[in-house]
Structure 1
Amino acid sequence: MLGAVPALLTYYWRAKMPETARYTSLVAKDPEKATSDMSKVLDVDIEAGFAKNDQARVSSDEFGLFSKKFLRRHGLHLLGTATTWFLLDIAFYSQNLFQKDIFTTIGWLPSAKTMNAIQELYQIAKAQTLIALCGTVPGYWFTVALIDWMGRFKIQVLGFSFMTASLIGLAIPYHHWTLPHNRIGFVVLYSLTFFFCNFGPNATTFIVPAEIFPARLRATCHGISAASGKAGAMVGSFGFAALVKAVGMKTTLLIMAGISFVGLLFSFLVPEPNGKSLEELSGEAEPEKI
């Protein structure tokens, strides 16, 4: 019963929140309500004609998700956002969920047979916390600090590039890392894959789809991209262990590097949204052709 309370509170507060001004003005065609909502949220007086002027500035040339115009303007963008999110989550979730197996394989964690359940839980939690503190969390903070300076595209390309390089660096000299005195080096390099995942595509893949598509299709395209990511998470979650069993850890890490490299290539289908308005990015600010 208590578990339902946060969900109910979330539902209540979400119901109290107004729709975004862009949606209300450009999609619902109600600039007066958009102006009123903005005034309440920002706690400032906004002229009633502001949203009308914004609506007039934006092209009214509407097109659907399955139209030729959408395909021409945003088809490659959607392919890029969906594919990069899909490929990222294969690599990200497979490495996240199977850290225990990876660390046990190289000998950094003892075999489960040598520990009781509490000892195993403690050792796994300690290892995963170390990876999070040294790689995952700092990566996110670097993104927060630098994303508006570097731009989304550069961060995504940088992240996929270093993920590829780090995984190759783990895979090719794999036997070297299994030696007792080299295991810490493996952990450091492995942490870098998580650092550049979060200072990279694990942040940008969910930011960019919310910026580059038209207002009336933005949530739909973001949802398609996110669903592709969850499909990748399923592939990584169910496929990694089977892949390790079939071809070994070294080859599996090389495959993860290849997946990251393909993600890098598909990143070039996605435009840089930094410094541009949502209307410029989506093409809604273009004047209508008569």
Structure 2
Amino acid sequence: MARDKLVVLDALDTAKTQWYHFTAIVIAGMGFFTDAYDLFCISLVTKLLGRIYYTVEGSETPGTLPPNVADAVNGVAFCGTFAGQLFFGWLGDKMGRKRVYGLTLMLMVVCAVASGLSFGHSAVGVISTLCFFRFWLGFGIGGDYPLSATIMSEYANKKTRGAFIAAVFAMQGFGNLTGGIVALIVSSAFDHSFKAVPYDVSPAGSLPPQADYVWRIIVIFGAIPAALTYYWRMKMPETARYTALVANNAKQAAQDMSKVLQVEIIAQEEKTDEFVQNPGNSFGLFSKQFAKRHGLHLVGTTVCWFLLDIAFYSQNLFQKDIFSAVGWLPTAKSMSALQEVYKIARAQTIIAICGLIPGYWFTVALIDRLGRFWIQLQGFFFMTVFMFALAIPYNHWKKNRVGFVVMYSMTFFFANFGPNSTTFIVPAEIFPARLRSTCHGISAACGKVGAIVGAFGFLYAAQSTNPKLTDAGYPPGIGVKNTLLVLGGINFFGMLFTLLVPESNGKSLEELSGENEEESVETVEYPTSSSRTVPV
């Protein structure tokens, strides 16, 4: 049987959209803006890193990062993100959302700057230092996932909660776009500045000494938006749901939300005690009761996010390789190093504008009308369709490059108007307050395992079977075409596991988690005519 809700929670659920909602979106969203910038800017400069540190003197061929080094540079931040999501997700439930929220941001600022200042006496030293700091950068980014999602879900009203959380996540699109724009500006500025300087026109020599500044500036820029929002993040009060339902401080929750909502809210201390002490609200993550109530839900959120990120991060990190494979980007020999950065950045910017950003905001506009389940299901469906449509007539797209880019953009559109958004939203809604950040962290961490699989696996799988590449140290791959087929199959399985995820549209967080249900009892009659009360 459902109990009466606490006044402070009811006030949050029924509040009209106010200025504090938009403030929370911007504060939390700027963290995701930075997350996307920091994670994906590395794909813009990996080819430049190869030219700077791995070009053999006197060679006519520009240098490239060896496969194991490219894996490390692209994937190490995801390893850090995986660890950060688990650690900060757990810490957010133990210490409170706000207390650790600023720590993740400062970690991102410091490590973004340190990554750009990577040092060493050799190529190995510089790359090793870069990987070290990018791991800890990822650790901070990982903490932002469960904390931002949980804070936004606990601040929002139930009518537009999905749109608010989706808007926070949609800032990733602008982070990705900004990465491309910054790379365009920096590479173009340096290229024009040093064209007048005479340097060797051979491919290996088409690299001005100042090119080392380019990748460093691009990487360091990610610290700026995070630093700008630190003060406002620290000014946010703790969420009422954590304060009341986990910390059991009804008076503080009422005071905080009275200021936020600008209304008088009564502190229901006795009712809060009753709510917190209810046996149905005290089970742990590894209990049978959690497995019974939320076990399948957790399987659904983790597996869907895992499958989604294999496909999504493979596409994002290695789109430059896919575009090169279909001939949309010229060969490295035909470009200077800075021209190559410029053209890779231009391709990423076009994809962000045409596919990424519109998909995010379609979700914001429609998620509270269509619901989470249908948006996720149709997203996986169309990602499957477009992946197969790219892979099966793959040779045709080599002659129709514009058509390939359009189709490729559509996979990003339906990823974001689909599971890339909903896998972030749903775990922040369906689990109990005392486990919400932890469960979101677990779900997100499984997603990052998928990202690691995508980052490490795609590099090898998409390699051509050309014997010359194999002789050069590259392991034999299955080619881009077969890799796209595999990614299409992964998206299909995402559709199947979506069936385990409940619809959370239009319900309060307490209804979804079952926290407002009273522990029922029933009387069992025994042959001796005596009776006893047994909790059920």
Calculate the TM-score normalised by the size of structure 2: 0.51
| 1:16 Cα offset (Å) | 3.8
Q: Distance in 2 between matches of 1:208 and 1:40?
A: 28
Q: Residue 164 in 1 paired to residue 164 in 2?
A: no
Cα deviation digits, residues 132-177 of structure 1 (max 9, x gap): 1110010011011111111111111111111010000001111111
Report the secondary structure of 1:29's partner residue. coil
Report the secondary structure of 2:499's partner residue. helix
Structure 2 counterpart of 1:35, which letter? Answer: A
In the other structure, the counterpart of 1:234 is: 452
Q: Residue 134 in 1 paired to residue 365 in 2?
A: no
Structure 1 counterpart of 2:425, which letter? Answer: I
Cα deviation digits, residues 15-44 of structure 1 (max 9, x gap): 443221111111111211111111122222
In the other structure, the counterpart of 2:320 is: 100
In the other structure, the counterpart of 1:113 is: 333
Of 244, 256, 260, which residue of structure 1 is paired with 2:487?
A: 256
In the other structure, the counterpart of 2:310 is: 90
Cα deviation digits, residues 191-227 of structure 1 (max 9, x gap): 0000001111111111100000011100000010111
In the other structure, the counterpart of 1:147 is: 367
Q: Residue 78 in 1 paired to residue 298 in 2?
A: yes
In the other structure, the counterpart of 2:240 is: 21
In the other structure, the counterpart of 1:222 is: 440
Report the secondary structure of 1:270's partner residue. coil
Change (3 A) 1:276 1:268: same
Structure 1 counterpart of 2:332, which letter? Answer: A
Which structure is higher in helix share? 1
In the other structure, the counterpart of 2:256 is: 37
Structure 1 counterpart of 2:408, which letter? Answer: Y
In the other structure, the counterpart of 2:498 is: 267
Structure 2 counterpart of 1:237, which letter? Answer: A
Q: Which runs of 5+ in 2 are unaligned?
A: 1-105, 111-222, 464-476, 522-536
In the other structure, the counterpart of 1:68 is: 288
Change (3 A) 1:249 1:211: same
Q: Distance in 1 between matches of 2:228 and 2:343?
A: 36
Q: Distance in 1 between matches of 2:279 and 2:228?
A: 37
Cα deviation digits, residues 81-100 of structure 1 (max 9, x gap): 11111111111111011111
Q: Distance in 1 between matches of 2:270 and 2:321?
A: 58
Report the secondary structure of 2:507's partner residue. coil
| 1:47 Cα offset (Å) | 2.2
Cα deviation digits, residues 218-242 of structure 1 (max 9, x gap): 0000010111111111111111010
Of 496, 512, 517, which residue of structure 2 is paired with 1:286?
A: 517
Structure 1 counterpart of 2:360, which letter? Answer: Y
Relative contact order higher in (CA < 8 Å, ≥ 6 apart)? 1
Q: Which runs of 5+ in 1 are unaligned?
A: none
Calculate the TM-score normalised by the size of structure 1: 0.92
Change (3 A) 1:10 1:125: closer
Q: Distance in 2 between matches of 1:11 and 1:184?
A: 42
Q: Distance in 2 between matches of 1:10 and 1:69?
A: 40
Report the secondary structure of 2:395's partner residue. helix
What is the percent sequence identity of the aligned residues?
66
Whether the 8 Å contact between 2:245 and 2:275 is mirrored in structure 1 is: no
Q: Distance in 2 between matches of 1:158 and 1:9?
A: 37
Change (3 A) 1:279 1:193: same
| 1:263 Cα offset (Å) | 1.2
Change (3 A) 1:100 1:17: same
| 1:14 Cα offset (Å) | 4.0
In the other structure, the counterpart of 1:209 is: 427
In the other structure, the counterpart of 1:243 is: 461
Structure 2 counterpart of 1:43, which letter? Answer: Q
